[in-house]
């Protein structure tokens, strides 16, 4: 919408555009599909309860192969401008951000759009998707790899599955305890007061006219 | 178009550190190291803390239960029958008690899946397949042995020579207890020198035949000779695997 049409929403700041929100929820859907199909594959006693095993395997395989797509699709192309900017924000850290992370949030920081914890979460998830995809492919097409590698891939796939599950549980807990922040993954916007409190540097860069007023 | 996208793009961080790339490459390297050495690390940890604790660790010594049909055939122990037929002198149907009254063989060996997971130090107990074949008498002209399962889906085969290896058994006990339903009980095959798919579960029939009949997994692309070392045979098994 244009500036002229939306005087009310100009008091609210766009945090995630449509493309990013859809990518987030597609990613979440695939993640839960993977997690719920992993449980019976991993803990034998659960399986056979709901679906036949080979169907569960197929769902797990295809969800896994599709997992990188929401991020990639939302990042490429003319619709990916906001996503690309956020990926850049997440990758590049200032010295203050690094210090903030090292001191576990005790140093002063004028926060970017994402605080260093959120950035680290995003980087970890991105890297883990890559590692899970590679090791998962090794387990699916195991014939091309020597047996010790297959065992190693099983080890890594298991280890990262645990790690990701902890991180995602943490992500959900943080979301549920920060309702204003959570709302922006549904409707895209945060209030100016939220942005002043949690992302002052971003707000200053995004809407210099507002902050200077 | 949203309001914000009209605004100037945020300044490129001039002296920012690309933490994203560092963490990404670090985790990828960790994953690669895990693939290359995870097997050794895991075996070391398993030896150090014992397989009981090892089972709780990620990648631990845990059986991953496979079934072709998606269900487990449930067979009462007193209803169990093993039918041995084909090119034999005395076609015989064995009960569980019949098998248990025969000379017992037991040993501790790993269960190694072709997809990579492995459970070390599994205790097995049962009857040597060769003892069973001797009991019924193999006729001349016999070349191979085919196996059927109570799941009516899985099949397996061994050459007569492979069937006579001392660590190929018809197992009724595993992990120190009667073979459970999910592990293929009451009676399953255990072919120690080969990958797990050769150790057919819920064994219902043994047929002595005049040609190798590739089993279910072999029809789906697995090698008919599932030797653990991949190629050479029982006299030269991979020391890392058994």
Tell me the average pLDDT across A38-50: 65
- Report the share of chain A in percent with pLDDT over 70: 87
Does residue A46 sit at the B interface (CB-CB below 8 Å)? no
Give yes or no for B12 touching A (CB within 8 A): yes
> In Å, how far are A120, A141, A182, A201, B16 from A109, measured between CA atoms?
16, 47, 22, 9, 15
Question: Cα angle vertex B77, ends A47, B99, to 5°?
Answer: 120
How close does chain A come to B225, measured CA to CA in Å?
14
User: Looking at residue A84, what is its pLDDT?
Assistant: 94
Partner residue opposite B13 with nearest CB, options A17, A92, A208:
A92
The dihedral formed by the CA atoms of A62, A68, A73 and A74, expressed in degrees to the nearest 10: 130
Higher pLDDT, residue A90 or B222: A90
* CA distance to partner chain A, nearest, from residue B114 (Å): 7
Please report which confidence band the pLDDT of residue A30 belongs to, taking 50, 70 and 90 as the band edges. very high
Phi-psi region of B64 (alpha: psi -120 to 50; beta: other; left: phi over 0): beta
Indicate the domain borders of chain B: 16-62, 77-219
The residues in B 179-238 lying below 8 A from A, measured between CB atoms, are 182, 221, 228, 230, 238
Distance of residue B4 Cα from the nearest chain A Cα, in angstroms: 7
Average pLDDT in the B155-160 region?
Answer: 95
Q: What is residue B103's DSSP assignment?
A: P
Neighbours of B188 (CB within 10 A): 22
pLDDT at A202: 86
User: Cβ of B24 and A156 within 8 Å?
Assistant: no
Least confident of A24-28, A142-146, B140-144: A142-146
Q: Could you give the CA distance from residue B133 to residue B145 in angstroms, rounded to a whole number?
A: 10
pLDDT tier at B63, thresholds 50, 70, 90: confident
Give the residue, A107 or B44, on which the prediction is more confident.
A107
Q: What is the mean pLDDT of residues B10-18?
A: 64
What is the rounded distance in angstroms from the CA atom of residue A169 to the CA atom of residue A159? 16
What pLDDT, on a 0 to 100 scale, did the predictor assign at position A3? 45
Question: B77-219 adopts what CATH topology?
Answer: Sulfite Oxidase; Chain A, domain 2 (3.90.420)
Q: A106 — contact with chain B (CB < 8 Å)?
A: no
Q: Number of CB pairs < 8 Å for A and B? A: 178
pLDDT tens by residue, A75-90:
998 999 999 999 999 9
Q: Report which secondary-structure segment, H or E, holds A136.
A: helix A116-140
Distance CA B199, CA B171 (A): 10
Quote the CA–CA distance of B37 and B25 in Å, as a whole number. Answer: 18
Give one DSSP letter per residue of A47-110, joined into a string. Answer: TTSSS-HHHHHHHHHHHHHHTHHHHHHHHSSGGGHHHHHHHHHHHEE-HHHHHHHHTTT-S---
Task: Round the average pLDDT of chain B to a whole number and report it.
Answer: 83
Write down the pLDDT at residue A46: 53
Predicted confidence at residue B241, as pLDDT, reads 35
Distance in angstroms (rounded) separating the CA atoms of residues A172 and B231:
49
Parallel, antiparallel, or unpaired for β B118-128 and B144-149?
Answer: unpaired
Residues B207/B86, Cβ–Cβ less than 8 Å: yes
Test the B interface: residue of A154, A157, A211, A212 with most B CBs within 10 Å: A154
pLDDT score at B46: 60
Instruction: Calculate helix-pair angle for A68-75, A81-91, nearest 10 degrees.
Output: 110
* Poorest-pLDDT segment among A9-23, B5-19, B124-138, B216-230: B5-19
In which element (H, E) is residue B105 found?
strand B105-112
Whether B108 shows a pLDDT value over 50: the answer reads yes
Closest residue of chain A to B21, computed from CA coordinates: A91
Q: Which residues pair with B218 in a beta bridge?
A: none
- A85 at B interface, C-beta within 8 A: yes
Of A48, A87, A208, the CB nearest to B71: A48
B196 against B66, higher pLDDT: B196
Q: How confident is the model at residue B71 (pLDDT cuts 50, 70, 90)?
A: confident
Report which of B134, B187, B186 is spatially closest to residue B160, judged by C-alpha positions.
B134
pLDDT at residue number B2: 41
| Polymer length of chain B | 242
DSSP assignment of A7-31:
TTGGGEEE-S-HHHHHHHHHHHHHH
A200 touches chain B (CB under 8 A): no
Predicted confidence (pLDDT) at residue B242 exceeds the cutoff of 60: no
- Determine contact: A52 vs chain B, CB below 8 A: yes
Q: Which residues contact B110 (CB under 8 A, 6 or more apart)?
A: B118, B119, B120, B121, B122, B241, B242
ipTM over 0.95: no
Model confidence at B109, pLDDT cuts 50, 70, 90, reads very high
A122 against A107, higher pLDDT: A122
Which range is least confidently modeled, A121-125, B72-76, B218-222? B218-222
Best of B38, B112, B151, B230 to substitute, by most chain A Cβ atoms within 10 angstroms, is B38
A chain contacts of residue B64, beta-carbon cutoff 8 Å? 41-42, 44
How far apart (Å, rounded) are the C-alpha atoms in residues B161 and B142? 11
Residues of chain A with C-beta less than 8 angstroms from the C-beta of B40: 148
Provide the pLDDT confidence category of residue B227 given band limits of 50, 70 and 90. Answer: confident
Q: Quote the pLDDT of residue A1.
A: 45
Asked whether the predicted pLDDT for residue B57 surpasses 50, the reply is yes
Q: Which of A100-109, B82-91, B97-106, B179-188 has the lowest mean pLDDT?
A: A100-109
Check CB contact under 8 Å for B58 and A48: no
A 7-36 residues with CB below 8 A of B?
9-10, 13-14, 17
Question: Greater confidence, A50 or A12?
Answer: A12
Does the distance separating the beta carbons of B20 and A119 come in below 8 Å? yes
**Beta-carbon separation of B70 and A53 below 8 A:** yes
Helix (H) or strand (E) run with residue B191 in it: strand B188-191
Residue A208 has pLDDT above 80, yes or no: no
| A51 or B56, which is more confident | A51
pLDDT of A96 over the 60 cut = yes
Which tens digit of pLDDT belongs to each residue from A154-200?
A: 889 988 999 999 999 999 999 999 988 899 999 988 888 888 888 88
Distance from CA of B228 to the nearest CA of A (A): 9
Distance from chain centroid for Cα B16: 51
More confident residue, B45 or A69: A69
């Amino acid at each position: 919408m244009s500036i002229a049409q939306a005087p009310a929403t100009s008091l609210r700041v766009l945090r995630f555009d449509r493309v990013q929100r859809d990518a987030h929820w597609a990613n979440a859907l695939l993640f839960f599909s993977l997690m719920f199909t992993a449980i019976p594959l991993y803990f034998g006693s659960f399986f056979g309860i709901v679906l036949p095993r080979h169907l569960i395997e197929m769902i797990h395989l295809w969800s896994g192969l599709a997992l990188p797509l929401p991020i990639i699709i939302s990042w490429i192309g003319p619709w990916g401008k906001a996503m690309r900017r956020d990926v850049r924000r997440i990758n590049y850290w200032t010295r203050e951000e690094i210090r903030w992370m090292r001191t576990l949030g005790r140093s002063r920081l004028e926060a970017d759009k994402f605080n260093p914890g959120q950035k680290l979460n995003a980087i970890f998830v991105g890297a883990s998707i890559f590692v899970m995809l590679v090791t998962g492919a090794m387990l699916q097409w195991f014939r091309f790899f020597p047996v010790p590698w297959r065992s190693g891939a099983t080890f890594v796939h298991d280890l990262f599955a645990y790690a990701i599950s902890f991180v995602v549980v943490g992500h959900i807990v943080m979301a549920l305890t920060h309702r204003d922040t959570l709302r922006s993954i549904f409707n895209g916007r945060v209030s100016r007061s939220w942005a002043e409190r949690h992302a002052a540097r971003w707000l200053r860069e995004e809407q210099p006219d507002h902050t200077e007023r | 178009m949203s309001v914000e996208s009209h605004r100037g793009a945020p300044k490129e961080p001039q002296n920012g550190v690309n933490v994203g790339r560092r963490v990404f490459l670090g985790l990828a390297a960790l994953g690669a190291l895990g693939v290359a050495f995870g097997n050794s690390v895991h075996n070391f940890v398993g030896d150090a803390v014992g397989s009981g604790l090892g089972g709780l660790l990620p990648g631990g010594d845990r059986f991953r239960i496979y079934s072709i049909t998606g269900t487990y055939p449930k067979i009462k122990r007193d209803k169990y029958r093993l039918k041995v037929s084909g090119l034999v002198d005395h076609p015989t149907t064995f009960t569980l008690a019949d098998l248990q009254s025969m000379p017992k063989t037991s040993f501790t060996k790993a269960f190694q899946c072709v997809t990579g997971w492995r459970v070390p130090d599994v205790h097995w107990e049962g009857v040597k397949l060769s003892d069973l074949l001797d009991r019924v008498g193999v006729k001349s002209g016999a070349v191979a042995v085919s196996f059927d399962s109570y799941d009516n889906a899985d099949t397996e085969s061994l050459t007569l020579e492979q069937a006579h290896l001392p660590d190929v058994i018809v197992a009724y006990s595993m992990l120190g207890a009667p073979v459970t339903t999910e592990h293929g009980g009451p009676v399953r095959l255990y072919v120690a020198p080969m990958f797990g798919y050769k150790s057919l579960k819920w064994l219902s029939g043994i047929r002595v035949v005049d040609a190798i009949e590739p089993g279910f997994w072999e029809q789906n692309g697995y090698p008919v000779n599932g030797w653990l070392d991949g190629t050479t045979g029982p006299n030269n098994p991979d020391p890392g695997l058994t």
